Structure 1
Amino acid sequence: MKIKFHKICFVLLAVFISFGTQLLSQVNSPWKWVHPTPQGNTLRYVKTFNATTHYALGYSGTFLKTTNSGTNWFISTNVFGTQENNQIYAYSGWFFDQNVGLAGGETGKLARTTNGGLTWDTITTGETGIIYGMHFLNANTGFFSTSTGGNIRKTTNGGLNWTAISTGASVALYSVFALNPDTIYVSATLGNIRYTTNGGTNWTIVSTGASSTLYDIKFKDAMTGWVCGSSTAIRVTTNGGLNWTQTSTGLPTSTFYNINYASGVTDADYVYVSGNSFYAFRSSNYGTTWDSVSLAGTQTYVSTQYSLDRNGNNMSSVGAFGLINTSTNAGANWTAHNSLGYSGTLNDVWCDNMSGRVIAVGSAAQYPIIVSTNGGSTWNFGVSANVTGTYYGIKMLNSSTGYAVGTTSKLAKTTNGGMNWDTSTVYSTATTMYNLDFANTSTGYISGASGRIFKTTNAGANWELQTTGITNTLYNIDMHDANTGWFVGTTGTIRKTTDGGSTWTAQTPGTTSSLYDVQMFDANTGYLCGLSGTVRKTTNGGTNWDTVAVPFTASLYMLSFSDVNTGFIAGATGLTYRTSNGGSVWQVLNTSGSTTNGIYAKGYDSAFAVASSAGVFKLYNPLTGGITWQNQIPEKFTLEQNYPNPFNPVTTIKFGLPKAAKVTLKVYDILGREVSILFNNTDINAGTIAYDFDGSELASGIYFYSLIVNNNKIDTKKMVMVK
Structure 2
Amino acid sequence: MKKATILFFFVLFGIQLFSQNFDWVWQNPKPQGNTLRTVTEITPGYWLSLGAAGVIMGSTDNGDTWYVGIADSLGREFRGLYLVNALVGYICGEEGLLMKTTDGGQSAQYLNPGTVENLMDVAFVDADTGYVVGAVGTILKTTDGGATWNSITSSITNTINTVSVVSADMVVIGSASTSKALKSTDYGASWVDITPAGLTQSIWDIFFLNSSTGWLAAQNSGKVYRTTDGGTSWAESTTNSLVVPNFVKFKDANVGFVTNNNNGNVFKSTDGGATWTAYSASPEPQYAVGIGSSAIISVGRSGSIHKTIDEGLTYNQITEAITFTQIRSLKFIDNLTGIGTAGSTTTADSLGFLIKTTDGGQTWNDVGYNFKNIVYSLSTPTPLVWYVGRGRNAIFKTTDGGLTFNQQTQPLTGTSNFNDIGFADENNGYAFSAGGGIIKTHDGTNWVTANTPFGTTTVYSGQVFNAGKVIAVGGSAKAYMTLDSGATWIPLTTNIPGNYFVVRFLNDTIGVIAGYNSPSPVASKTTDGGLTWTALTLPVEFEGNSIWGVGFKDENKFWLSGINGALYYTLDGGTTWNTTDVVTANTLYSIAIVDNDLWISGSNGTILKGFSDPEVPVELISFDATVSANKVTLVWKTATEQNNKGFEVERKLNGENWTSIGFVHGKGTTSETSVYSFSDNLTRSSKAWYRLKQQDFNGSYEYSKIVEVNLSLPTKFDLAQNYPNPFNPTTSIKYSLAAKSMVELKIYNILGKEIVKLVNDVQDAGNYEVKFNAQNLSSGVYFYELNAGSFSAKKKMMLIK
Question: How high is the TM-score relative to the length of structure 2?
Answer: 0.68
Q: Name the residue aligned to 1:10.
A: none
The CA RMSD over aligned residues, in Å, is: 3.2
1:35 is aligned to: 28
Shift in alpha-carbon separation, 1:450–1:288, aligned structure 2, 3 A: closer
Deviation at 1:449, TM superposition (A): 3.5
Which one has the largest radius of gyration? Answer: 2
How far the C-alpha of 1:380 sits from its partner, in A, is: 2.3
2:377 corresponds to which residue?
393
1:112 aligned to which of 96, 100, 124: 100
**In structure 2, do the counterparts of structure 1 residues 172 and 356 end up closer, same or farther at CA, with 3 Å as the change threshold?**
same
1:444 aligns with 2:432: no
The 5 A counterparts of 1:72-151 are 72-79=65-72, 81-83=73-75, 88-97=76-85, 100-113=88-101, 121-148=109-136, 150-151=137-138
Question: How do 1:456-495 residues align onto structure 2 when only pairs under 5 Å count?
Answer: 456-468=441-453, 470-495=455-480
What is the alpha-carbon distance in structure 1 between the residues aligned to residue 445 and residue 271 of structure 2? 65
Does the 8 Å contact 1:34/1:618 carry over to 2? Answer: yes
1:157 equivalent in alignment to 2:144: yes
- Specify the alignment match of 1:233 in structure 2: 223
The residue aligned with 2:191 is 203
**Aligned to 2:531, what secondary structure does the other structure show?**
coil
Matched residue SS, 2:569: strand
Matched, 1:619 2:623: no
**Residues 70/198 of structure 1: CA separation in 2 closer, same or farther (3 Å cut):** closer
1:610 equivalent to 2:591? Answer no
1:548-587 equivalence runs, <5 A: 548-551=536-539, 552-553=542-543, 554-587=545-578
Aligned equivalents of 2:297, 2:454: Cα separation in 1: 58
Q: Map 1:82-481; keep pairs closer than 5 Å.
A: 82-83=74-75, 88-97=76-85, 100-113=88-101, 121-148=109-136, 150-189=137-176, 191-209=179-197, 210-230=199-219, 231-248=221-238, 254-263=243-252, 270-275=255-260, 277-291=263-277, 294=279, 296=281, 301-331=282-312, 333-361=314-342, 363-364=344-345, 366-381=351-366, 383-385=368-370, 387-430=371-414, 431-468=416-453, 470-481=455-466
Deviation at 1:393, TM superposition (A): 1.9
Instruction: Report the CA distance between 1:46 and its aligned residue.
Output: 0.5
Query: How many Å separate the matches in 1 of 2:674 and 2:237?
Result: 57
Determine if contact 1:182/1:197 at 8 Å carries over to the other structure.
yes
| Counterpart Cα distance in 2 of 1:508 and 1:118 | 56
Look up the match of 2:493. Answer: 508
Whole-angstrom CA distance in 2 between matches of 1:542 and 1:69:
57
In the TM superposition, what is the alpha-carbon distance from 1:64 to its structure 2 partner? 0.9
Q: Which among 34, 46, 64 is matched to residue 39 of structure 2?
A: 46
- In structure 2, what is the Cα distance between the partners aligned to 1:607 and 1:363? 26
Conserved 8 A contact 2:53-2:77: yes
Alignment gaps of 5+ in structure 2: 1-13, 620-638, 642-670, 676-801
Contact 2:53 2:583 (8 Å CA) reproduced: no
State how far apart, in whole Å, the 2-side matches of 1:352 and 1:324 are: 32
Shift of the alpha carbon at 1:215? 1.6
Sort the Cα spacing of 1:305 and 1:585 in 2 relative to 1 into closer, same or farther, 3 A.
same
**Measured at CA, do residues 23 and 58 of structure 1 come closer, stay the same or move farther in structure 2, by a change above 3 Å?**
same
SS class of match (1:613): helix
Whether the 8 Å CA contact 2:326–2:602 is kept in 1: the answer is: yes
The 3-state SS of whatever aligns with 2:223 is coil
Secondary structure of 2:146's aligned partner: coil
Structure 2 residue matching 1:533: 3-state secondary structure:
strand
What is the CA–CA distance in structure 2 between the aligned matches of 1:501 and 1:68, rounded to whole Å? 60
Q: How many residues align?
A: 595
Residue deviations 1:221-241, cap 9 Å, x none? 222222122223222222221
Partners of 1:227 and 1:236 within 8 A in 2: yes
2:16–2:69: 8 Å Cα contact kept in structure 1?
no
Letter paired with 1:273: V
Q: Is the 8 A contact 1:434 1:448 kept in 2?
A: yes
Aligned equivalent of 2:636: none
Q: Quick one: distance in 1 between partners of 2:82 and 2:615?
A: 35
CA distance in 1, matches of 2:255, 2:532: 70
The code of the aligned residue for 1:260 comes to K
Secondary structure class of the residue paired with 1:158? coil
Q: Aligned partners of 1:381, 1:114: CA distance in 2, in Å?
A: 46
Q: 1:63 is matched with which residue?
A: 56
| Native 8 Å contact 1:529 1:536 kept in 2 | yes
Query: What is the CA-CA distance between 1:596 and the residue it aligns to?
Result: 0.8
Structure 2 counterparts to residues 693-708 of structure 1, below 5 A: none
Decide whether aligned partners of structure 1 residues 418 and 592 sit closer, same or farther in structure 2, where only a CA change above 3 A counts.
same
Superposed counterparts of 1:522-533, under 5 Å: 522-531=507-516, 532-533=520-521
**Structure 1 gap ranges (5+):** 1-21, 629-641, 651-723
Report if aligned partners of 2:496, 2:523 keep a CA contact under 8 Å in 1. Answer: no
Return 132-141 or 207-216, whichever deviates more: 207-216
Offset at residue 82 of structure 1 (A):
3.4
**Alignment partner of 1:60: what SS?**
helix
Name the structure, 1 or 2, with higher relative contact order (CA <8 Å, separation 6+).
1
Give distance in 2, aligned partners of 1:394 and 1:119. Answer: 46
CA positional deviation for 1:306: 1.3
Could you tell me how far 1:341 is from its partner in structure 2?
3.8
- Specify whether residues 302 and 514 from structure 1 end up closer, same or farther in structure 2 by C-alpha distance, changes over 3 A only: same
Asked if 1 retains the 8 angstrom alpha-carbon contact of 2:434 and 2:459, the reply is yes
How much does 1:350 deviate? 0.5
Give the 5 Å matches for 1:682-721: none
- Distance in 1 between residues matched to 2:147 and 2:497, nearest whole Å: 48
What amino acid sits opposite 1:602 in the alignment? V
Q: Contact 1:23/1:71 (CA < 8 Å) preserved in 2?
A: no
Q: Tell me, what secondary structure is at the counterpart of 1:181?
A: coil
CA shift in 2, pair 1:278/1:344, >3 Å: closer
Q: Aligned partner of 1:243: which letter?
A: S
Deviation at 1:251, TM superposition (A): 6.2
Are the structure 2 counterparts of residues 489 and 246 from structure 1 closer, same or farther at C-alpha, using a change threshold of 3 Å?
closer
1:451–1:246 distance in 2 versus 1, CA, 3 Å = closer
Q: CA deviation at 1:55?
A: 0.7
Greater mean deviation of Cα atoms: 200-209 or 525-534: 525-534
CA contact (8 A) 2:54 2:77 kept: yes
The one-letter code of the counterpart of 2:405 is W
8 Å contact 1:455–1:466 — kept in the other structure? no
For residues 164 and 356 of structure 1, the distance between their equivalents in structure 2, rounded to whole angstroms, comes to 56
CA–CA distance in 2 between the matches of 1:353 and 1:117?
A: 43
| Change in 2 beyond 3 A, CA 1:336/1:51 | farther
Amino acid at match of 1:440: D
For residues 376 and 15 of structure 2, the distance between their equivalents in structure 1, rounded to whole angstroms, comes to 32
1:580: how far off? 4.2
Identity percentage of aligned residues: 24
For 2:499, the aligned partner's letter is S
Find the aligned partners of 1:153 and 1:240 in 2 and give their Cα distance: 22
Alpha carbons 1:218, 1:225 under 8 Å: kept: yes
Q: Distance in 2 between matches of 1:156 and 1:623?
A: 47
In structure 1, distance between residues paired with 2:240 and 2:486: 60
Partners of 2:448 and 2:355 in 1: how far apart? 26
